[in-house]
A and B are shown apart, each in its own frame.
Chain A
Amino acid sequence: MAMLGYEFMQRAFWAGGLIGVIAPILGVYLMLRRQVLMADTLSHVSLAGVALGSFLHLNPTISGFVVAIIGALVIEQLRRVYRTYTEVPVAIIMTSGLAVAVVLMSVNPHLNKSFSSYLFGSIVAVSDTQLALIAIVAALGLVFFVALRRPLYNFAFDEETAAISGTRVSLLSFSFAVFTGMTVAASMPIVGVLLVSALIVLPASIALRIAPGFIAAMGVAVITGWVGIFSGLTASYYLNSPPGGTIALILLGFLLIAVFIQKLLQLRNRRSVQINKPKVRGVINHD
Chain B
Amino acid sequence: MILSSMRDVVFGYGDRTVIQNLSLDIHTGQFIAISGPNGAAKSTLLKLMLGLTKPWSGTIEMNRVSEDGSPITVGYVPQLVASFNAGFPSKVIELVRSGRYHRLGLFKRFAASDHEAVKQSLMEVGMWKYRNHKIGELSGGQKQRVCIARALAQEPEALILDEPTTGLDEASRKELYELLDRYVKQRGKTVIMVTHALEEIDPYLDRVVHLERKEDTGWRCSVTNSCSVPFGQEA
With A158-B83, A164-B50, A212-B134 as contacts: A150 and B101 at CB distance below 8 Å? yes
- Chain B interface size, as a band, is 20 to 34
Q: How far is the CB of A82 from chain B (nearest CB, A)?
A: 15
Q: Is the CB of B98 within 8 A of A154?
A: yes
A193-215 contacts to B, CB under 8 A, are: 207-208, 211-215
The CA of A105 and the CA of B230, in the complex, are separated in Å by: 71
Instruction: Tally A residues with Cβ within 8 Å of B.
Output: 27
Partner of A160, one of B76, B98, B104: B76
| A148 located at the interface, meaning its Cβ lies under 8 Å from any Cβ of chain B in the complex | yes
- Decide if B87 is an interface residue (CB 8 Å cutoff): yes
Contact A160 B89 (CB under 8 A): no
Q: Give the chain A neighbours of B90 by CB distance below 8 A.
A: 157, 213-214
Q: For the complex, is B85 an interface residue (Cβ under 8 Å from A)?
A: yes
A151 CA / B74 CA spacing, docked (Å): 16
> Which of A147, A161, A166 has the largest count of B CB atoms less than 10 A from its CB?
A161
- How would you classify the secondary structure of chain A's contact residues: helix, strand, loop or mixed? helix
Q: Tell me if B83 and A161 are in contact (CB < 8 A).
A: yes
Contact between A213 and B102, CB atoms less than 8 A apart: no
Residues of A with C-beta under 8 A to B52: 160, 163-164
Tell me the A201-238 residues at the B interface (CB within 8 Å).
207-208, 211-217
A28 CB contacts on chain B under 8 angstroms: 89
Query: What CA separation (Å) do A165 and B91 show in the bound complex?
Result: 20
Q: Indicate if B154 sits at the interface (CB-CB under 8 A).
A: yes
Given known contacts A148-B106, A164-B52, A165-B154, A153 and B98 CB-to-CB distance under 8 angstroms: yes
Pair A165/B78 contact, Cβ less than 8 Å: no
B94 touches A166 (CB 8 A): no
The CA of A153 and the CA of B98, in the complex, are separated in Å by 8
Nearest-neighbor residue (CB-CB) of B108 within chain A: A150
Q: Enumerate chain A residues within 8 angstroms of B84, measured Cβ to Cβ.
A: 158
Residue contact B91 to A213, C-beta cutoff 8 Å: yes
Chain A residues near B87 (CB, 8 Å)? 32, 208
Nearest chain-A residue to B99 (Cβ)?
Answer: A165
Whether, in the assembled complex, A167 has its beta carbon less than 8 Å from a beta carbon of chain B, the answer is yes
A32 interface neighbour in B76, B88, B105, B134, Cβ under 8 Å = B88
A residues less than 8 Å from B149 (CB atoms): none
Q: Is the CB of B102 within 8 A of A217?
A: no
Which of A32, A164, A212 contacts B74, CB < 8 Å? A164
Report how far A213 CA is from B90 CA in the complex, Å. 4
Please indicate the chain A residues that have their CB under 8 angstroms from the CB of B105 in the complex: 150
| B95 within 8 Å of A (CB atoms) | yes
Which B residues contact A (CB, under 8 angstroms)?
A: 50, 52, 73-78, 83-85, 87-91, 94-95, 98-99, 101-102, 104-107, 134, 154
Q: 6 A-B residue contacts at CB 8 Å?
A: A150-B101, A158-B84, A164-B75, A207-B89, A214-B89, A216-B89
